[in-house]
């Protein structure tokens, strides 16, 4: 009997992925359905619904769910969910679709799912702005004093994504027909929730932490993972292998860097390197909650939340993603409430006077004694060909990343923010 935390939603793992004869029959049927081209973000959402990563979701959200999630962090039935999972279509496509119709959802020529449309609802620019303010507006300097709408339309990738959505949303259950390229491109790393749960059970783990990554692991990431290993049975290093914003390091390079670090600096029995197929939404605190929600489905009951988790620019307060966990609603129903809890870690860095990794809670030395560590700062230095300061990362990992940056013909400007530079310390 597994001792792991139950999947979110109280229904076990809800998996919409078809296999075998069912899959073949649905693929054949899809050829005769209206084809709807979906975004890469929706493709990732579909795969997560297929493999159970988004349990208890079995399809895209209704208007009532969308409104509840934005406003109160709860779907219409009271189940906790922090970020809308919606499917946008053009007004022209929406005009040809009636409630009750089935459609095929296609990305780059591949059919990813069929969907039974139970509802369609318009998304005006005012609706999109309202969603952005609920989901992306933070407490950082680029969000306050009326700055959000001056800066976000050009600089916040999540806001840009929502404001560029088409005029209508479709809601309804899906049957997922493909996991895309992930199984082939990331063998042994792309793992379904049922697979990570089986691995945890096999190792006898019941108290598991997850480390969210969209950057290669630097010394702070390594420190966070090792803190969790000390107090938990093991750690899932869980990297985003979907799409990122321009200038971020591709998943293949990041996964290889993590493997190098694990091989050289971890006890392998206490850590698992895995990836999940979503695109980043850059929703800061809300995305931290989303990370905890779907990690619960993977069997994780502790989510590591450090400084500026899932942030972008200076839209969010340094520890806003920790604080939001204290404000989410509860119903008293364990199935509907979030069970994966945050492991809140203070700002970490290398301190020369301490002669090791430390945090604001453990180190009493000054800013000049500290090596400020951040993924943005690392990418900025590597992109500019600047010298990497001592103790920023492990040499083996930095050598690997330098090879990648040396292969680039065009480089994207990496914008520094206060949290990454250390100015806010």
Which DSSP helix (H) or strand (E) runs through 175? Answer: strand 168-176
Dihedral sign, Cα of residue 344, residue 346, residue 350, residue 353:
negative
Strand partners, 168: 89, 122
Question: 296: closest CA among 236, 335, 340?
Answer: 340
- What tokens does 332 get? 């008293």
SS3 label, residue 294: helix
Return d(Cα 117, Cα 103) in angstroms, integer: 8
Return d(Cα 338, Cα 268) in angstroms, integer: 29
Task: Mention every residue, 6+ apart, whose C-beta is less than 8 A from residue 423.
Answer: none
Nearest 5 degrees, angle CA 156-CA 55-CA 250? 40
Residue 159 CA, chain-centre distance (Å), reads 16
Q: Would you call 98 a catalytic residue per the annotation?
A: no
Q: Which of 215, 273, 301, 302 is catalytic?
A: 215
Q: Which of 107, 169, 197, 214 is catalytic?
A: 214
Q: Would you call 41 a catalytic residue per the annotation?
A: no
Query: Please, are residues 358 and 351 in contact by the beta-carbon 8 Å criterion?
Result: yes
Query: Please, are residues 239 and 375 in contact by the beta-carbon 8 Å criterion?
Result: no
Return d(Cα 42, Cα 44) in angstroms, integer: 5
Q: DSSP letter for 397, please.
A: H
- What tokens does 330 get? 């509860």
**Residues annotated as catalytic (active site), given as ranges:** 214-215
């Amino acid at each position: 009997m597994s001792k792991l935390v139950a999947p979110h939603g109280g229904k076990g793992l809800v998996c919409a992925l078809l296999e075998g004869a069912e899959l073949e029959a649905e693929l054949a049927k899809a050829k005769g359905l209206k084809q709807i081209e979906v975004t890469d973000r929706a493709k990732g959402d579909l795969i997560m619904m297929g493999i159970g990563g988004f349990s208890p979701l079995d399809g895209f959200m209704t208007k009532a769910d969308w409104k509840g999630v934005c406003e109160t962090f709860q779907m219409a039935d009271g189940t906790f969910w922090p970020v809308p999972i919606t499917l946008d279509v053009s007004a022209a496509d929406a005009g040809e679709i009636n409630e009750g119709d089935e459609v095929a959802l296609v990305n780059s020529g591949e059919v990813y799912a069929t969907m039974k449309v139970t509802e369609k609802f318009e998304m005006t620019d005012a609706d999109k702005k309202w969603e952005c303010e609920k989901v992306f507006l933070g407490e950082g300097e680029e969000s306050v004093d009326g700055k959000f709408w001056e800066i976000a339309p050009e600089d916040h990738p999540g806001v840009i994504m929502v404001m560029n959505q088409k005029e209508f949303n479709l809601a309804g259950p899906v049957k997922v027909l493909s996991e895309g390229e992930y199984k082939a491109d990331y063998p042994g790393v792309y793992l379904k929730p049922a697979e990570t749960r089986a691995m945890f059970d096999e190792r006898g783990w019941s108290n598991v932490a997850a480390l969210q990554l969209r950057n290669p692991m630097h010394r702070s990431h390594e420190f966070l993972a090792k803190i969790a290993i000390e107090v938990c049975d093991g750690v899932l290093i869980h990297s985003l292998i979907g799409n990122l914003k321009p200038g971020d390091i591709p998943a293949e390079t990041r996964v290889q860097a993590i493997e190098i670090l694990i091989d050289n600096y971890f006890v392998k029995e206490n850590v698992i390197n895995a990836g999940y197929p979503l695109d980043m939404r850059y929703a800061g605190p809300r995305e931290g909650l989303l990370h905890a929600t779907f990690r619960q489905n993977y069997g994780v009951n502790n989510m590591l939340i450090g400084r500026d988790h899932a942030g972008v620019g200076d839209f969010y307060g340094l520890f806003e993603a920790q604080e939001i966990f204290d404000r989410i609603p509860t119903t008293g129903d364990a199935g509907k409430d979030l069970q994966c809890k945050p492991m809140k870690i203070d700002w970490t860095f290398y301190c020369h006077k301490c002669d090791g990794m430390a945090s604001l809670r453990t180190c009493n030395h000054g800013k000049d004694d500290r090596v400020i560590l951040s993924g943005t700062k690392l990418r900025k230095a590597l992109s500019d060909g600047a010298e990497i300061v001592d103790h920023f990362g492990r040499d083996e990992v930095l050598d690997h990343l330098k090879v990648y940056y040396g292969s680039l013909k065009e480089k994207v400007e990496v914008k520094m923010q206060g949290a990454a530079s250390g100015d806010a310390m």
